Amino acid sequence: MARRNTNALSGDADEARAQILEAAQSTFLHFGVAKTTMDDIAKASGVSRPTIYRYFRDRDTLVAELIRMRSRKLFVKGTEFVLEQETFRDQLIEGLIYLVDHGRKDPLIRLIVTPEHMDLATAVVGTSHLASSLTLEMWGPIFDKARARGEMRDDIDNEQACEWLGLVQLILVGRLDFENPDDPSHRQMLETFVLPAFVPPAN
């Protein structure tokens, strides 16, 4: 992989971080997360390893930031897709399948949504609960709007709901890895076991 021709990072801290993240992203995608070292990232960035540590505490912090960055890009398209659905029922069911299907195909986002990478994900996420916080970032506004329309229960806490939804996503990843995302059984499962936890009981 080519070395970045950067004699020095930008003097602006945010821009310098962005430069390092760009180089790290290319390195991770080329070598794989497990095999990439900070030396590899420093080489790709065209700076020394101590310089990388000025902006990121350690490798896991850098990986977590990349996961956050790539997840937010997915959320832009995901939110558009969800808001195209007419009811909260469809937003939740179709949105979950859309986000999990796209997230599982991303080599970095996949780190926090698949059991196969659990050891690495635990090291990366640590006590920050990255998966839950990202789920809340995506679904919190959707839940608030659904609640305002009377389509979602008032007694559900968004943070707890998203922590549980993260577990549902783990189940979905396993299913979508082996079965067609268009298989109606996925939607049937979500409608039977997940949707009732969110919608008000029928009068």
pLDDT for residue 123: 52
CATH of the domain at 24: 1.10.10.60
The whole model's pTM is what? 0.84
pLDDT for residue 192: 97
How many domains does the chain contain in total? 2
Question: Is 3 inside any structural domain?
Answer: no
Domain that holds residue 171: 66-197
pLDDT for residue 132: 85
Residues 144 and 90 in one domain: yes
pLDDT for residue 2: 41
Q: Which residue has the higher pLDDT, 191 or 126?
A: 191
Q: Chain-centre distance of CA 11, in angstroms?
A: 30
| Contact (CB, 8 A) for 57 and 168 | no
Residues 181 and 118 in one domain: yes
pLDDT for residue 166: 86
Question: Is 98 inside any structural domain?
Answer: yes
pLDDT for residue 52: 93
Percent of the chain with pLDDT over 70: 87
Residues 52 and 78 in one domain: no
Question: Is 8 inside any structural domain?
Answer: no
Question: Is 5 inside any structural domain?
Answer: no
Question: Is 28 inside any structural domain?
Answer: yes
Question: Which one, of 78, 99, 89, lies nearest residue 198 by Cα?
Answer: 89
Q: 22-73: per-residue pLDDT in tens?
A: 999 999 888 888 888 999 999 998 889 999 999 998 888 888 899 899 999 9
Q: Which residue has the higher pLDDT, 28 or 91?
A: 91
Cα–Cα distance for residue pair 38/69, rounded to 1 Å:
19
pLDDT for residue 120: 55
User: 47-86 as b/e, with b when 16 or more CB fall inside 10 Å?
Assistant: beeeebeebbeebbebbbbbbbebbeebbeebbeebeebe
Tokens of 133: 């916080």
Question: Which one, of 50, 55, 57, lies nearest residue 14 by Cα?
Answer: 55
Question: Is 203 inside any structural domain?
Answer: no
Question: Is 115 inside any structural domain?
Answer: yes
pLDDT for residue 193: 96
Q: 160-187: per-residue pLDDT in tens?
A: 999 899 889 888 988 998 999 999 999 9
